[in-house]
Amino acid sequence: MTREEVLEKFRAIFEERTGINEFKEEDKFIDDLGLDSLGIMDVVAGIEEEFDISVPDEDIGKLTTVKSAIEYILEKVK
């Protein structure tokens, strides 16, 4: 899966779960996009379902920005 494909799928999940369709890759989920902890869990659940991967609790803290999430997914689906 290419980076572009991951980003495109992420965009769809993110909009479905948060209603947010405009963001920059460096945006922080909490500070810039206004998510709360449950909102992040919801996005993570969407990522797990869409990419068929599992995100263990200890990794959730790594997903702080759109960019970090995309890179995490890319690494996992490799």
Partner 1 sequence: MDRKVVVTGMGIISPIGMTLKDYKENLFNGVSGVGRIQAFDPSGIASQIAGEVKDFDLRKFAPEFKVTEVRRIDRFAQFAIAASLLAYKDSGLDINREDPYRIGTVIASGIGGIITLEEEIRKMVEKGPSRVSPFLTAKMIPNMATAWVSMKLGLKGYASCPVTACASGGTAIGEAMEVIKRGDADVIFAGGSEAAITPIGVAGFAAARALSTRNDEPEKASRPFDKNRDGFVMGEGAGVLVLEEYEHAKKRGARIYGEVVSFAQTDDAYHVTAPEPNGDARKKVMEFALKKGNVPIDEVDYINAHGTSTSLNDKIETEAIKAVFGDRAYSIPVSSTKSMVGHLLGAAGAVEAVATLLIIKEDFIHPTINYEEKDPDCDLDYVPNIGRNQKVRYALSNSFGFGGVNTSLIFKKI
Catalytic annotation, residues: 36
C-beta of 42: minimal distance to partner 1 in Å?
5
Count CA within 13 A, CB hemisphere, residue 2: 3
DSSP 40: H
Number of other CB atoms surrounding residue 15 within 10 Å: 13
Answer yes or no whether residue 48 interacts with partner 1 by CB under 8 A: yes
Choice from 9, 11, 23, 41 touching partner 1 (CB under 8 A): 41
Answer yes or no whether residue 38 interacts with partner 1 by CB under 8 A: yes
Please say whether the beta carbons of 73 and 6 come within 8 A.
yes
Give contact residues for partner 1 (rule: CB under 8 A). 17-19, 38, 41-42, 45, 48-49, 54
